[in-house]
Structure 1
């Protein structure tokens, strides 16, 4: 079968899937997003758009002969923290876990060696990690890698100044800039910095995310749904963020597909 630049698993016949899955390093990437409020500036589908666009760009840049394919975007996720704002949709945690288990079992049955959960919604990082462990027990021959788009990408920190780097958790400088680059027509008017009500800081030693987090609800932190400061967002910053995200994930996925890592059991 000639190499495909689209790499959409759903575009293959079952015989092509069988042949691709049997190749050394065969990998499936599953983008995850959410349908949730992103303040008055950004659309509900922001996270899904980021996951899909970065995944598409990465797969286009990889060697076309590598056996790596992608599933359609899982657009609705686990977003209970944003349910105080209209338009947010959230699946129950157990349903998301069952979804990962069910789809993962099918990927394993086809013969693929790895499933990458390529997630862009910070509120479901822990849930997908738990789902990945459950799937790994059920399918010991399938390596499962729950990844977060923004975590560990090279060079992002130097583009986002403090305090935004630590406190810009939702619809702030980074997300607004990336959307200005990818889909500028969907971005509302940027507010002035002094028009944003700052979130109340947690007590010393605690944080909204990180080492000692709390289970926060967005309406407790922000009347607009924005947690951070998007007032200095720009398409130029969004372009730089996009290039670094794509470059980092291209290197990671290329190394993964060409390797025998991580170890699995249950394969002959």
Structure 2
């Protein structure tokens, strides 16, 4: 990661100059500290988010007005309580953090904040925080995103039923970790999930009619899905699709004038 992309390694006059540039954009990677089964590390989501945004920023042209904050390593993970090592912040604290940091950045003149999230359990929370921040600062573009959602071709690489049922520490996450940091992956390949049965007919774990499921409802190991077929080759394919997809999205964002500034103020 080159120095000029990291706000934390810049001096305050450099930050002031960066914020004043048209389209100035800050990316804030979000992870979590939560169980990922007996075979993956607690900081799995954090590692994915940070490695991915660094890869994207390194591939963007050097003259583009985009920088990143340090990783937010603790997130909202109450569904994984009961497994040693999980640390979960209260929802209201995480929302307050996003609003406070966004207000500070906007005060310096930055025009966009991207919440680059690696943890599926806080997608809706960060969307709520982003909406609250944007409503108080209409001129600041706030874009909450989940690293696994958006890039084309991801779903096609994961066969059913794992595509629908591999919700946590299963085929996709284990394969990606085998590609990025194989030394952090234990030899076990658990198959677990839905141990307490499925939701009632017409309801789902996630999707159109979701439940606020807890990991203990479904799994004794912390894995929700099947990690047995995980391999580094699949991880490499996932990494390529993720990198290409997010590179294209950041290129599009940086070439745009979002958010619009020539509209009447909201009433």
Does the alignment reach a TM-score above 0.5? yes
Per the alignment, residue 163 of structure 2 pairs with 165
Which of 127, 130, 136 is residue 128 of structure 2 equivalent to? 130
Quote the offset at 1:215 in angstroms.
0.6
Per the alignment, residue 228 of structure 1 pairs with 225
Which of 20, 33, 56 is residue 58 of structure 1 equivalent to? 56
Please give the alpha-carbon distance, in whole angstroms, between the structure 2 residues aligned to 1:57 and 1:118.
13
Per the alignment, residue 177 of structure 1 pairs with 175
Asked if 2 retains the 8 angstrom alpha-carbon contact of 1:132 and 1:144, the reply is yes
Please give the alpha-carbon distance, in whole angstroms, between the structure 2 residues aligned to 1:211 and 1:64.
41
Which of 75, 78, 92 is residue 76 of structure 2 equivalent to? 78
Cα deviation 1:123-144 (Å, max 9, x = unaligned):
0001000000111122221110
Quote the offset at 1:59 in angstroms.
0.3
State the superposition RMSD in angstroms: 1.6
Per the alignment, residue 33 of structure 2 pairs with 35
Per the alignment, residue 241 of structure 2 pairs with 244
- List runs of 5+ in structure 2 lacking aligned partners: none
Please give the alpha-carbon distance, in whole angstroms, between the structure 1 residues aligned to 2:235 and 2:264.
43
Asked if 2 retains the 8 angstrom alpha-carbon contact of 1:29 and 1:115, the reply is yes
TM-score by length of 2: 0.94
Cα deviation 1:189-230 (Å, max 9, x = unaligned):
13365xx46542223321111111011110110000000101
Asked if 1 retains the 8 angstrom alpha-carbon contact of 2:25 and 2:67, the reply is yes
TM-score by length of 1: 0.94
Asked if 1 retains the 8 angstrom alpha-carbon contact of 2:190 and 2:221, the reply is no
Per the alignment, residue 9 of structure 1 pairs with 7
- List runs of 5+ in structure 1 lacking aligned partners: none
